[in-house]
Chains A and B, each alone.
Chain A
Amino acid sequence: MKVGLWQPAEYAAEGLPTGWPAPGARWEPERGAESVRRAFELYDLAVENGFDMLSVAEHHGGYGSLVPSPTLMAAVLAQRYPDVTIGILGPILPLASPLRVAEEVAMVDVLSGGRTVVGFFRGVPTEYLLYGTPPAETGDMFREAFALVLRCWTEPEVFGWEGRHYRFRTVSTWPRPLQQPHPPIVSGVTNPEAAAWAGANGHRLGIFGAVVPPDRAAQCVDAYRAAGGGTGDDDILYRVRVYVADTDEEAEADAAEYELGNMRLLAAPEPERAAAAGKVLAALFGGGGAGHGGPPPRPEFCGAPETVIRQLRESRDAVGWGSLDVVATFPRLPYDKARRSLERFATEVLPALRGG
Chain B
Amino acid sequence: MSLEETRLGGRRALVGGDGDDVLVFLHGGGGLHRDPSVELLAGDLRIVAPELPGFSAGEDDGDTSSFDAIAEWVVAALDEAHVETFTLAGVSFGAVLALHLALAHPDRVDALVLLAPAAFQPEDWRLPDLDGLDRALFAHPGPRPEPPDEATFGRRAEILGRLVGGLDRERLRARIAAIDAPTLVVFGTEDGLIPPEMGREYRAAMPTCSLVYLYDAAHELGWDRPDALAELVGDFARRREAFVVGA
Contact A161 B211 (CB under 8 A): no
- Which one of B197, B204, B213, B244 contacts A170 once the chains associate, using CB atoms below 8 Å? B244
Say whether, besides A159-B212, A161-B212, A162-B228, A169 and B247 are in contact (CB < 8 Å).
no
Q: How far is the CB of A255 from chain B (nearest CB, A)?
A: 46
Contact B200 A164 (CB under 8 A): no
**A158, B203: Cα distance in complex, Å:** 9
Q: A306 at the A/B interface (Cβ < 8 Å)?
A: no
Of the stretches A14-22, A127-135, A149-157, A213-221, the one at the interface is A149-157
Count the A residues whose beta carbon is within 8 Å of the partner chain — how many? 18
A171 to chain B: closest residue by CB: B213
Q: A248 at the A/B interface (Cβ < 8 Å)?
A: no
- Which one of B203, B216, B232, B246 contacts A164 once the chains associate, using CB atoms below 8 Å? B216
Q: B210 at the A/B interface (Cβ < 8 Å)?
A: yes
**A157, B211: Cα distance in complex, Å:** 8
Contacts of B215 in A (CB 8 A): 144, 147-148, 161-164, 166
Contacts of B199 in A (CB 8 A): 157, 159
Say whether, besides A144-B215, A163-B216, A169-B243, A156 and B200 are in contact (CB < 8 Å).
yes
Q: A160 at the A/B interface (Cβ < 8 Å)?
A: yes
Contact B189 A147 (CB under 8 A): yes
A166 to chain B: closest residue by CB: B215
**A170, B244: Cα distance in complex, Å:** 7
Q: B214 at the A/B interface (Cβ < 8 Å)?
A: yes
How many residues of B sit at the interface, in one of the four size bands?
A: 20 to 34
**A147, B211: Cα distance in complex, Å:** 16
Contacts of B229 in A (CB 8 A): 162
Say whether, besides A144-B215, A144-B216, A151-B213, A160 and B189 are in contact (CB < 8 Å).
no
Q: A172 at the A/B interface (Cβ < 8 Å)?
A: yes
Query: Binding site of B, secondary structure by majority: helix, strand, loop or mixed?
Result: mixed
Q: B127 at the A/B interface (Cβ < 8 Å)?
A: no
Q: B174 at the A/B interface (Cβ < 8 Å)?
A: no
Q: How far is the CB of B4 from chain A (nearest CB, A)?
A: 29
Q: B130 at the A/B interface (Cβ < 8 Å)?
A: no
- Which one of B213, B216, B225 contacts A159 once the chains associate, using CB atoms below 8 Å? B213
Contact B216 A161 (CB under 8 A): no
Contacts of B243 in A (CB 8 A): 169
Contact A161 B247 (CB under 8 A): no
Can you name 18 A-B residue pairings with CB atoms under 8 Å?
A: A144-B215, A144-B216, A147-B189, A147-B215, A151-B213, A157-B203, A158-B203, A159-B199, A160-B212, A160-B213, A161-B212, A162-B215, A162-B228, A163-B216, A164-B215, A164-B228, A169-B243, A169-B245
Contacts of A147 in B (CB 8 A): 189, 215
Q: How far is the CB of B219 from chain A (nearest CB, A)?
A: 16
Contact A170 B212 (CB under 8 A): no
Say whether, besides A164-B216, A170-B244, A159 and B211 are in contact (CB < 8 Å).
yes
List 20 additional contacts besides A159-B212, A161-B215, A162-B228; criterion CB under 8 Å: A148-B215, A157-B199, A157-B200, A157-B203, A158-B211, A158-B247, A159-B200, A160-B210, A160-B211, A161-B212, A162-B186, A162-B213, A162-B214, A162-B232, A163-B215, A163-B216, A169-B212, A169-B245, A170-B247, A172-B247
Interface 0/1 of B189-233, CB less than 8 Å to A: 100000001011001100000111111100000000100110010
B210 to chain A: closest residue by CB: A160
A158 to chain B: closest residue by CB: B247
Interface 0/1 of A156-198, CB less than 8 Å to B: 1111111110100110100000000000000000000000000
Contact A155 B189 (CB under 8 A): no
Contacts of A162 in B (CB 8 A): 186, 212-215, 225, 228-229, 232
Q: Which of A213-240 contact B (CB under 8 A)?
A: none
Contacts of A151 in B (CB 8 A): 189, 213
Contacts of A144 in B (CB 8 A): 215-216
Contact B245 A170 (CB under 8 A): yes
A155 to chain B: closest residue by CB: B200
**A158, B245: Cα distance in complex, Å:** 9
**A204, B105: Cα distance in complex, Å:** 52
**A67, B244: Cα distance in complex, Å:** 37
B200, B212, B213, B216: which has the most chain A beta carbons within 10 Å? B213
**A166, B197: Cα distance in complex, Å:** 19
